[in-house]
Chains A and B, each alone.
Chain A
Amino acid sequence: MIDTLRARFYRFLRRILTRPRVDLPLACALVILCGVGLVTLYSAGNANLPLVAGQAARFLLGGVLIMLLSRIPPSMFRNWTPWLYVGSLMLLVVVAVLGEGRGADRWLNLGIMRFQPSELMKLVMPMMVAWYLHPRQLPPRWKDILVVGLLIAIPAGLIAKQPDLGTALLVTAAGAFALFLAGMAWWRIGLLLAGVGGLIPIAWHFMHQYQRDRILTMLNPESDPLGNGWHIIQSQIAVGSGGMFGKGFEQGTQSRLDFLPEHTTDFIFAVFSEEFGLIGVCAILVLYAFIIGRCLWIAMEARDTYSRLVAGAIGMSFFVYVFVNGGMVSGLLPVVGVPMPMVSYGGTSAVTLLVGFGVLMSIHANRKVHD
């Protein structure tokens, strides 16, 4: 009995390893990106090998998860979607209750590891929107848009209250991209954006002071050079001093000498820019663009609407990471906690991203069969 089980397990393992059901171009691009990320982390962490090894271990875990998930058919994801959504939402409520009054508490202590339910929501959100929209008449009308809006707003609101503006933004964007890809009419999009624009003053009123400060400081960082402006100024100095060709690997003084705060996590892209210059920035942005494009390609090849919307939304929210992080590091956007995907050090975020790619691989594996 045990022998047969063991034999089946090994057969399964061998199948995963010898005939991986992954998209090779996307997998290669991800491997290159992870490699660049580890190299940058090595330099940004002042040659802290255990730090790099920890990150590499997470990448490996992510890789294994990708291979496992790629073997699960998208229909199974689709069937689990509502339960995943409800489960994630409940975890968010638990965090909100337990974390009340204790500042920015976003973690759930599971004993052996700490877990951030909001990270899970980043992935579950596009799946939920796709699940809701896929049996319905597309392009969506106001009623569906309203429901989707609620599906997005409830978890996004809970996350924003933690407060974690960056993740709330990512969750919202992921859901919104699914709506956009579902073919929501342009005039509806225009109206909706106008409405949101009108809400900004009200949102300003409900914002935390630190969130307002970040926005104000971003508009004029020199007004508070030692406080909120410090991050932005030092980050811009790092980026600007890198120049066209960069200072070279491990030569970035801004990070090595600790002038740059958070230089292994949120601001690691400043280290990258300092050491590899505009050439390096362009190269890595091309790599990101390739990955996003490949995700959209996989989405277009997908068999059904659910798969299309999920794959497309995951790909496009990848862009939000890159744009928001790259923008905040260069002083274009306010400082919100959005990591640079696969480059910033951070456990949950890297694994979540790779799990998303696992879903994509599964969609790819079950793509349309061309005649």
Chain B
Amino acid sequence: MTKLLNRRAFKDTRGEAESFRRRAFVGFALILLGLGALVGRYWFLQVRHHDEFALRSVNNSVKPRALPPTRGLIYDRNGVLLADNVPAFRLEVVPDKIQNMNTMLAELGQVVPLDSDDLDAFRKQLKQTRHFDSVPLKMRLSEDDIDRFAVNRWRFPGVDVVPYLTRRYTMGPLFAHVVGYVSRIDANDLDDLDPDVYKGTTHIGRTGVERSYEDMLHGKPGYELDEVNADGRIQRVLSVDPPTPGKNIYLSIDSRIQKAAQDAFEGRPGAAVAIDPRNGQVLAMVSVPTFDPNLFVNGISTADYKSLNTDSDKPLISRALRAAYPPGSTIKPFMALAGLEYGVRRPEDSVVSTGVFYIPGQARGYRDDQRYGAGVVNLYKAIYASVNTYFYKLALDLGIDRVSDFMGSYGFGHPSGVDIPGEVPGILPSRAWKAKHSPKEPSWYPGETVIAGIGQGYWEVTTMQLAHALATFAGRGVPYAPRAVMATADVGKSPLPLANPPSGPSLIKNAKDWEAVNEGMQMVIYSNDPLSTGAGVKLGDGFPYRIAGKSGTAERFSRTSDAYNENKNTAYLAARHRAWFEAFTPAEDPRIAVAVVLEAGAWGAKDAGPIARKILDAWLAAQGGAVPPNRPLPEPMPATSVAPEDTPQSDMPAPDTSSPTPDASSPAPDSSSAGDGTP
């Protein structure tokens, strides 16, 4: 009882309530203090340092993304579309959504054929991509592929058919060596490319105009500001700065002439270049055989590449720019002009051709093409009958320095400067060249001057160089750098011509010299002298304008036995010769200059000549027939319309089939024989 009372007495309930009240107030005050501290902390973050955190928040979530520009289109001079961007479809895989990649690929391979090239490229890219970014697996799906995949789509989550724009070369092989091709940018390219310009771009011009005009065709990328999440996935687009598409480009080449030139070769390896002497515009440039550039756009298969690369005819090599051959007699008109211009010869000055030429005081003979000589030969006959003796002597009289100076001024020995990449400089024989390239025997011998006079010896010339030199001559000596592109246009705008001013004053000192050589070259076509190299080939028949030309037959090997004279059949000679032909027309006011080389032609006039004539025929047809030469032609301008549908192909006249066929029974040999003068 006492205990209980004691306890009751100790327990002061009223006091406890009062004490609790005090403690509750103190506690609440402390709590308010704590909450105040929190407010202080939030003020510190949200007001005091707000700017800093706001910036970090934006940097977290807003990422710029490049929008690649659409590549410019390429047209021929009449607005015929050559390089187009077409919608295509590819298979893409999002690695994130694939449970077992190998199983999926194996099963997918049953539906859409996947070759090892596709798989290798895919696996390579897979390693470089984030897991939620889709990786292309197979480009350019066929309609069959798409249909079959559509039916089986449910089996392949994470695999999609995605549309994209791909380059298509509408004329395929015809322009492969001019337009070139684009291909995918690979890891090696990335080091050389400006990342600001190429962000988002997958393809780049590799060869041809696609490469040399890359800057214009490519355009300027745009930017998109994307809101991304912590994984980098795009949530929404905040703003867009659209890309500027690349410029459209108009070639000066006429696809009808190009086609005729290509067809004229009938598949035989060779090259042809046609240039307008009045402005340097390239009208045609073919290299036979050729290849389909479309194969390269989305990655060429190993099998295709191997077959192109091991083909003995080397279709991937642009012969017009990269194959240099001895020019042979095609340089004789230039030699003749040099003689006149340096005052060493007058047109009527003559030499006697006996069949062999000796340098005074030397025993070695230099053969003429006629076994017993062509008799008394002046400048005109020297050209139309391609008389070696005339040029042997002329070369000696000029001396190698004046020969190489003069030839160099016409562009031999260095690239013509055409706006298509890959040109080789060829070889112009000179003391300097020999000193540099033949250190063991650096001094120059008169015999080398003699054979240089007929385009043999060290000489090497590309078809482009010869066409360029001929165009410079035909244009009365006014040099223009050859140009394959004549105009560019912004999308939706009219084309603007690219300026191509002459690269110097006229090279011709005396108009009479030009007329004399021109006359000699016309006689190649029209002379009735059986010694004329053009005799019997009748290259000028049925053509409304006067044609001036010159053949060339260069020997590939030195003659080491008499087999040459004993086996003069066409097949044998074709294996030993390269056939050249150069021509321009109208002779009095030239508008087109053509150079043709046939790698395995027996005779220049008979084998390469008809090809040149077919090119001239196609040019004539493209002009709409004969136009009196004295009436000034309207400057050809590309069509303003960019739509390929607007330029119906049916407008193209059929190539003239009435060109004369060479008379095989009476070959007019013009072979220049250089003895064993070639080192």
Interface residues, chain A, with chain B CB atoms under 8 Å away: 135, 137-139, 177, 180-183, 234, 236-244, 253-254, 256-259, 273, 277-278, 281-282, 285, 288-289, 292-293, 296, 299-300, 304-305, 308-309, 312, 316, 319, 322-323, 326-327, 330-332
Residues of A within 8 A of B231 (CB): 258
Other A-B contacts than A135-B7, A137-B10, A236-B53, 10 sampled, CB-CB below 8 A, are A240-B57, A241-B50, A242-B46, A254-B61, A259-B61, A281-B38, A281-B42, A319-B31, A327-B41, A330-B42
Does residue B21 face the partner (Cβ distance < 8 Å to A)?
Answer: yes
A253's partner among B28, B42, B57 (CB-CB below 8 A) is B57
Residues of B within 8 A of A241 (CB): 50, 53-54, 56-58
Does residue B446 face the partner (Cβ distance < 8 Å to A)?
Answer: no
Given A240-B53, A289-B35, are A312 and B46 also a contact pair (CB < 8 Å)?
A: no
By beta carbon, the residue of chain A nearest B35 is A285
Residues of B within 8 A of A257 (CB): 60-61, 227-230, 235
By beta carbon, the residue of chain A nearest B13 is A305
In angstroms, Cα B14 to Cα A138, docked, is 11
A278's partner among B20, B43, B53, B56 (CB-CB below 8 A) is B43
In angstroms, Cα B29 to Cα A292, docked, is 11
Within 25-79 of B, Cβ neighbours of A (below 8 Å) are at 27-28, 31-32, 34-35, 37-39, 41-43, 45-47, 49-50, 52-54, 56-58, 60-61
Given A137-B10, A253-B227, are A299 and B20 also a contact pair (CB < 8 Å)?
A: yes
User: Is A240 a contact partner of B19 (Cβ separation < 8 A)?
Assistant: no
Residues of A within 8 A of B46 (CB): 239-240, 242-244, 273, 277-278, 281
Does residue B11 face the partner (Cβ distance < 8 Å to A)?
Answer: yes
Residues of B within 8 A of A331 (CB): 41, 45
User: Is A138 a contact partner of B57 (Cβ separation < 8 A)?
Assistant: no
Residues of A within 8 A of B115 (CB): none
A181's partner among B27, B42, B54, B227 (CB-CB below 8 A) is B27
Residues of B within 8 A of A181 (CB): 20, 23-24, 27
CB distance from A333 to the nearest CB of B (A): 10
User: Is A258 a contact partner of B230 (Cβ separation < 8 A)?
Assistant: yes
User: Is A319 a contact partner of B34 (Cβ separation < 8 A)?
Assistant: yes
Given A240-B54, A241-B50, A277-B46, are A183 and B35 also a contact pair (CB < 8 Å)?
A: no
In angstroms, Cα B92 to Cα A21, docked, is 65
Given A244-B50, A257-B235, are A323 and B34 also a contact pair (CB < 8 Å)?
A: yes
Q: How large is the interface on B (under 10, 10 to 19, 20 to 34, 35 or more residues)?
A: 35 or more
In angstroms, Cα B23 to Cα A296, docked, is 10
User: Is A236 a contact partner of B45 (Cβ separation < 8 A)?
Assistant: yes
In angstroms, Cα B17 to Cα A72, docked, is 23
User: Is B21 a contact partner of A180 (Cβ separation < 8 A)?
Assistant: no
By beta carbon, the residue of chain B nearest A323 is B34
User: Is B50 a contact partner of A237 (Cβ separation < 8 A)?
Assistant: no
In angstroms, Cα B29 to Cα A316, docked, is 11
User: Is A323 a contact partner of B38 (Cβ separation < 8 A)?
Assistant: yes
List 6 interface pairs A-B (beta carbons < 8 Å), by A numbering: A137-B10, A181-B24, A181-B27, A183-B19, A238-B57, A305-B16
Given A257-B229, A258-B230, are A282 and B27 also a contact pair (CB < 8 Å)?
A: no
CB distance from A294 to the nearest CB of B (A): 11
By beta carbon, the residue of chain B nearest A260 is B230
CB distance from A232 to the nearest CB of B (A): 12
Given A244-B47, A257-B229, are A330 and B35 also a contact pair (CB < 8 Å)?
A: no
Residues of B within 8 A of A273 (CB): 42, 46
Residues of B within 8 A of A299 (CB): 20, 24
Residues of A within 8 A of B37 (CB): 332
User: Is B229 a contact partner of A326 (Cβ separation < 8 A)?
Assistant: no
Given A254-B60, A330-B41, are A292 and B31 also a contact pair (CB < 8 Å)?
A: yes
